[in-house]
Amino acid sequence: MNKRKTQSKKAILECIQRTGNYGLKSDNIESELPQFNRVTIYRILQSFIDDGIIHKVISDDGKSYYFKCKNCGEKHFHNHYHFKCNICEKVECMDNNIDVEVPKDYKIEHVNFWISGICNSCKK
């Protein structure tokens, strides 16, 4: 069960590092790295999630975006939101925390906060 360092893992990780605070969709990676198979990319992304390297967020149109983890913790708990600009289509991981109060006796296990609108660059 020892993990191996492979070309594909290195390439995909580099892809994600390059994006910084912005997110990637699986098909972005596919087109940037056409030498690797779709299935392989999905599998590696999942293993990165399991290893706490990236987190996955679902957009408001149901697509998966992947972001480099900063301080998710091992269970990927993050109460920050992700912002998609409807003009430039970039998706940004925002560090602002959101305080959510759930009613008594409700327990939060996971949050997925998505906001779309217009970013500062595009507003000008």
Numbered residues of the known binding site for Zn(2+): 85, 88, 119, 122
Give yes or no for residue 4 binding its own copies (CB under 8 A): no
Residue pair 87/118 in contact by the 8 Å Cβ criterion: yes
In the 8-state DSSP scheme, what is residue 89?
-
| Cβ contact 44:84 at 8 Å | no
Smallest gap, in angstroms, from Cβ of residue 17 to its own copies? 24
Only one residue has tokens 């779709």, namely 38
Instruction: For residue 11, give Cα distances in angstroms to 22, 64, 123.
Output: 17, 19, 34
Residue 58 CB, nearest approach to its own copies (Å): 5
Which residue number, 44 or 119, has a Cβ lying nearer to its own copies?
119
What letter represents residue 39's amino acid? V
* Partner interacting with residue 83 (select from DNA, its own copies, none; CB below 5-8 Å by kind): its own copies
Residues in contact with its own copies by CB under 8 A are 58-64, 81, 83, 86, 94, 96, 98, 100-120, 123-124
